Chain A
Amino acid sequence: MLKFIFMNILLIAFVKEWWFIQISLFLMCFIFSCFMGHDFSVSGLGLSLGSDHLGFILIMLSMWIMALVICASQSIKKTNNSPSGFLVVNLLLLLALLLTFSATDYLLFYISFESSLIPTLILILGWGYQPERIQAGVYMLFYTLFASLPLLVSLLSFYSLGGSLTMGLVPCAESSNFITFMWYFCTIFAFVVKLPMYLVHLWLPKAHVEAPVAGSMILAGVLLKLGGYGLIRVLFLFPEVNKMFSWFWVSVSILGGVIVSFMCLRQVDIKSLIAYSSVAHMGLVLSGLVVFGWWGQTGAVVIMVGHGLCSSGLFCLANMVYERLGSRSLLVNKGLLNFMPSLGLWWFLLSIGNMAAPPTINLLGEISLILSVVSWSKLSMFGIGLLSFFSAAYTLYMYSMSQHGLFFNSLFSCCSGKVSEYLVLMLHWLPLNVLIVKTAMILPSF
């Protein structure tokens, strides 16, 4: 595992050449999949690092998305907007993510979980382009920090209870009294805010909208999955309390997802629409995780991978349109099929991926999650039905509003589509649609 950490750190020495970093990140994905991608329970153990199947899936996702982030941020290189500083920040963020997903020690996991916030903040503040980004950075930082300091306390309590914080060696909190409930709440609140769940989701639309394309892609693609990954790692430590309180998380996430889907239909900013759709998807993920079934856990991981690719691709598309037309508003970005039909293909393919159409892995994940939550309680079908329906509704709204109809009269001429952009979008779309034939690659073997 250390070979990839060192490769990441040493890449920082080569940030003067953009192409080198770009190629090396794809190379890193390839080498990682060759070295760690076989049937194993855990591999690369040493120095509190190790990659089991779940960690393998998410490390692959983070390296892949980071490579695509560098490809999609060519405008920073072209306008010479501190490109080497940008690459350094992205590589540090990738380092934090690699450490988080490969940590076999809860404290290392916590420290890298928190440290992934700093490069993200620097990305938003340094390369974002609107004055509202200050407030967005503050919201993201303080929401996550406020929720995760109790997590540190709870991890230290586990240490004093069990004498070790190694994953798998930490004793479960078997009782179900009030103190254990507070302990449970402190532990999972950090991940619930990170996911995010509906009532604590306010940081997400702000951060996603104000971030540059790199920040949006990495936020939607990987950082939200930190919450899901953390929940998978800590939820089983509180079996009794979780069974008592899972009804609350299921209800908030599903009904919250429905409410957020309604809000999506009212958005005029494309990035805001995609950001709110992330909340709806992650709501389904959270509900699948807390019902403690095998289908729910695997469906959650599959949706995390699929959503990471799909949302990241949609943010990439929104940025391509923004670079040309100078606005994120749906009033201006409409009728794009008239003069960017090839990009319209990618809008269509990624939009249908967003609404879980076959053969995307989103379909597999959504079916697994629906089955698991319905197996827990058939009454959840009301909420899930509304959630799936409105997820299709707002995706159709976004696609037809941005592509169909007449284009905005006051547009000036722009480039209709570059091959490098089609490559980035294809690299988002290909894993999303092709992984369904070998789902053993993304179904974690618990």
Chain B
Amino acid sequence: MAGDGAVDPQVVRERASLRAALKREYQKQIHNPHRHGSAEGGFLFDPAVQRFMSMRATQAEFFKPTSRASLLGLAIFAPIVAYGWWMKTAREDFENKCRTGQVSYASREFKFC
């Protein structure tokens, strides 16, 4: 159990030897002079990095339509329509005021619209 305080030295030694073997293998691969000298560049293949990138690249394929996903879609679309409507009504009010003479041409900020 984690946080027990009591460790089994046998297990610790085993894990350390596995880790050391992996490190030795990594050092052997990364310091290969023929690979460095071939000027092809690249990096030592890391399956964890590959898994992460593949996960991000294929995120769309694992999409499941749930109610939460639909709410997210609404949360994106509704503010767009609401913001646009707000701008539309404000603009139409202003244009109405201009047309009926309540705002004079000289006092407009942006002329020659």
By a beta-carbon cutoff of 8 Å, the part of chain A in contact with chain B is 132, 199, 247-248, 250-252, 255-256, 259, 268-269, 293, 323-327, 329, 331-332, 375-380, 382-383, 408-415
Contact = CB atoms under 8 A, between A and B. Distances in A.
Given A293-B113, A413-B36, A251 B87 contact: yes
Contact of B91 (A269, A325, A376): A376
Given A331-B49, A331-B52, A247 B39 contact: no
Interface in B84-102: 84-88, 90-91
Interface of B: 30, 35-37, 39-44, 46, 49, 52-53, 56-57, 76-77, 79-81, 83-88, 90-91, 109-110, 113
A247 B40 contact: no
Contacts of B42: 325-326, 411-412, 414
B41 A255 contact: no
Contacts of B30: 409-410, 412
Contacts of B43: 325-327, 332, 408, 410-412
Contacts, number: 91
Contacts of A252: 80, 84
Nearest to A267: B56
Contacts of A132: 57
A199 B109 CA distance: 33
Nearest to A376: B91
A249 B113 CA distance: 19
A412 B57 contact: no
A377 B79 contact: no
Nearest to A372: B110
B57 to A, nearest CB: 7
Given A329-B49, A331-B52, A251 B44 contact: no
Given A248-B84, A250-B87, A268-B52, 16 more contacts: A132-B57, A247-B84, A247-B87, A251-B80, A252-B84, A268-B53, A269-B57, A327-B43, A331-B52, A331-B53, A380-B87, A410-B30, A411-B42, A412-B43, A414-B40, A414-B41
A25 B87 CA distance: 46
Given A247-B85, A375-B113, A377-B87, A412 B35 contact: yes
Contacts of B76: 259
Contacts of A250: 84, 87
Instruction: List the 4 shortest-distance A-B pairs measured between CB atoms, nearest first.
Output: A251-B84, A414-B41, A247-B88, A375-B110
A298 to B, nearest CB: 14
A87 B99 CA distance: 58
Contacts of B83: 251, 255, 379, 382-383
22 contacts: A132-B57, A247-B84, A247-B87, A247-B88, A247-B91, A250-B84, A250-B87, A252-B84, A255-B79, A255-B83, A259-B76, A269-B53, A325-B43, A326-B41, A326-B43, A375-B113, A379-B83, A410-B44, A411-B43, A412-B41, A412-B43, A414-B42
